[in-house]
Each structure stands twice: as C-alpha cells, then as structure tokens.
C-alpha cells in the first residue's frame, strides 16, 4: 500500500518538493489536481526531501494537492503493434490510435560494462556516400551529426530513415517544431517507410520535461526489438534541445552550472 501525501513543500518551475520516506530514485508518482492527474518522476532525494519532475508542467498544482507514489519506474509499451504508430514523450499515443498496455517494459535498463562489449564490426548501409565511405555507421555505435543553425539536418535524417538497410526505424523527436514533425511523418509516409517505423515525438509546444524521456523511450524499445533479432536504427533530433532541457531543469534545482550554464553531468547524460 503506497502512502499518499497532501503537502507539497515547494513548487519551482516544473519541479515540486515533498517530504516522503522510503522513496526510490526515478520512481513515478501521480499528482491529483483540480484539472486532473499528472505523472511525475523522482529526480533528487535528500534525506526525506524528495524532488519530483512533473511531466505536464506544474501549472495548476497547489501545495495541498495529492501526491501518490506508484512504487515503480517509468515504463513504456512494447509490442509489434507499435509499428507505424506515433507516441508522445511520455509514451502515450499521439496519432489518435488505441492505447497499448498489454506488455510494459522499464525504460531504465541495466548498466553495461564498456570493457565487456564486443567490438562492433557490422556496417549499416545508409546509401549516402559521405556517411558510408568517410564515417561509416556501425551496429551498436552512435554517430553524431553536427550542424549549425539553418542547415537541413532533419532532411538528412529523413533520407537516412528512407534509405538505411535495416528492418525498422525508431525516430525520436526532441523539442521539434510542428512543421518539422509533420515533415518527418509525411516524408516517411510518402516513401513507404512509415509502416516499419515507430515515432516518439516531443514538439516545442509539449512539456519540456517529456523531451528528456524521448531518448530513453526510443532506446528501450529498440533494445527489445534488437533482442528479437531485428536490425533497428534509432534517429534522435535534436540533441541541442535535449541539452537545453537539462539546463533548464538544472537551473530550477539550483545546481552549480558548468560551461554556458549547462549542468556538470551533461556529457554523461548525452552518453
């Protein structure tokens, strides 16, 4: 039986603080307000003082609202029915399709010892010469694409999604403009690749907290499909928006900033 708390001690941005014992890091909580219910996640524990990140933002939350801890971490649905579907940054359907709740998997997977990894040797062909020849994409490796403002990097990612020789694509959008999101959707739909794709989309108008969940959701689902023998390519855009979201949360939590105001663990988060 999980305890319910009716006293919120502090509301700062999208972060609230309550006094609650026996709570674990990254545990989910449900906040009940006059407007309805919203999920939050534990991001800091100091003695019995617990800070939670509210997914939908703290607007409408009062100090007397109900906070109930769920005793489990963030989970996402996993099934073959996800193919061709579009979800938001919290894993809920964005395409007006049915909610998939048959099989849920934890988002935070186990840590991997990098010294025990098998050396990657298998190349993924993107049929883009500048990538395949000069900076090959290899199975189980990350390939960053750096650009300056105004360059058409999303068009390049869409082309990779269409041409890559893989079984399925998982596309994670982080703080995208609505027209960028629609361009991804229309490009893959017109190219016949939407049926083998899964979208996790957080747009600029969505809660900024959900943008931090997109990479974890995409990679958790990709890992499960890979264990089933699928060749999965995960595309994430834009990691600059992800870093800016981390900075905003760090400022709210009064963390000591690093270079350009970003948190000190920025590169650990990006890894």
DSSP symbols for 215-262: HHHHHHHHHHHHHTT--EEEEEE-HHHHHHHHHHHHHHTTPPP-GGG-
How many CB atoms sit inside 10 A of residue 229's CB? 7
At residue 111, the pLDDT reads 73
Domain 75-237 carries which CATH code?
3.40.50.12240
pLDDT band at 241 (very low <50, low <70, confident <90, very high): very high
For residues 141-161, average pLDDT:
88
Rounded to an integer, the average pLDDT of 189-202 is 93
Model confidence at 1, pLDDT cuts 50, 70, 90, reads: low
| Stretch 220-248: mean pLDDT | 92
Tell me, what's the pLDDT at 178? 92
Which residue from 33, 37, 39 is spatially nearest to 73, judged by alpha carbons? 39
Query: Which residues 6+ apart lie within 8 Å of 106 measured at CB?
Result: 72, 73, 74, 75, 220
Q: Which residues of 132-154 are buried (b: 16+ CB within 10 A; e: fewer)?
A: eeeeebeeeeeeeeeeeeeeeeb
Extract the tokens encoding 198: 């899964």
pLDDT at 182 over 90: yes
Tell me the Cα Rg of the chain: 19
State the pLDDT at residue 117. 78
Task: Output the pLDDT for position 242.
Answer: 92
- The residue extents of the domains of the chain are 4-73, 75-237
Rounded Cα gap, residues 168 and 221, in angstroms: 11
Residue 186's pLDDT is what?
A: 94
Separation of alpha carbons 235 and 201, rounded Å: 12
Q: How many CB atoms lie within 10 A of CB 262?
A: 18
Q: 202-233, pLDDT tens digit by residue?
A: 998 888 888 889 999 999 999 999 999 999 99
Distance CA 123, CA 126 (A): 9
Pair of tokens at residue 114: 């990098």
Predicted TM-score (pTM) of the model is 0.88
Give yes or no on whether 4-73 and 75-237 have one common fold: no
DSSP codes, 101-131: -SSEEESS-----GGGSPPP-PEEP-S-HHH
Cβ–Cβ < 8 Å for 145, 157 = yes
**Secondary structure (DSSP) of 171-220:** EEEEEE-HHHHHHHHHHHHHTT-GGGEEEEEEETTS-HHHHTTHHHHHHH
Q: How many CB atoms neighbour CB 109 within 10 A?
A: 12
Residue 176 has pLDDT above 70, yes or no: yes
Burial of 36 (0-12, 13-18, 19+ CB in 10 A): exposed
The pLDDT assigned to 257 comes to 81
What pLDDT score does 141 carry? 85
Average pLDDT over residues 45-66: 88
Question: Which residues on neighbouring strands pair with residue 37, listed in sequence order?
Answer: 32
For the segment 88-102, what is each residue's pLDDT rounded down to a tens digit?
A: 988 889 998 888 888
Q: How far apart are CA 30 and CA 37, in angstroms?
A: 7
pLDDT value at residue 228: 92
Please give the backbone phi and psi of residue 43, each rounded to the nearest 5 degrees, phi first. -120, -10
Question: Among the CATH numbers 2.40.10.170, 3.50.50.60, 3.40.50.970, 1.10.10.350, which is that of 4-73?
Answer: 2.40.10.170
* pLDDT tens profile 11-22: 988 889 999 988
Longest CA span, the chain: 60
């Amino acid at each position: 039986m999980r305890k319910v708390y009716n006293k919120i001690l502090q509301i700062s941005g999208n972060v609230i603080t309550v006094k609650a014992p026996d709570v674990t890091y990254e545990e989910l909580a449900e906040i009940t307000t006059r407007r309805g219910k919203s999920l939050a996640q534990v991001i800091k524990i100091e003695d019995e003082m617990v800070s939670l990140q509210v997914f939908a933002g703290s607007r409408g939350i009062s100090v007397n609202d109900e906070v109930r801890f769920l005793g489990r971490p963030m989970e996402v649905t996993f099934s073959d029915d996800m193919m061709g579907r579009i979800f938001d940054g919290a894993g809920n359907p964005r395409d007006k399709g049915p909610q998939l709740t048959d099989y849920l998997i934890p988002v935070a997977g186990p840590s991997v010892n990098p010294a025990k990894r098998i050396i990657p040797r298998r190349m993924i062909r993107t049929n883009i010469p500048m990538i395949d020849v000069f900076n090959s994409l290899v199975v189980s490796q990350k390939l960053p694409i750096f650009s300056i403002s105004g360059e058409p990097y999303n068009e390049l990612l869409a082309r990779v999604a269409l041409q890559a020789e893989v079984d399925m694509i998982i596309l994670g959008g982080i703080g995208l403009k609505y027209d960028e999101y629609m361009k991804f959707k229309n490009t893959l739909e017109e190219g016949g690749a939407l049926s083998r794709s899964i979208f996790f989309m957080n747009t600029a108008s969505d809660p900024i907290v959900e943008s931090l969940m997109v990479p974890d959701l995409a990679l958790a689902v990709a890992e499960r499909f890979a264990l089933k023998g699928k060749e999965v390519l995960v595309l994430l855009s834009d990691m600059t928006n992800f870093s800016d979201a981390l900075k905003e949360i760090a400022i709210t939590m009064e963390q000591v900033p690093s270079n350009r105001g970003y948190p000190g663990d920025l590169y650990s988060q990006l890894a």
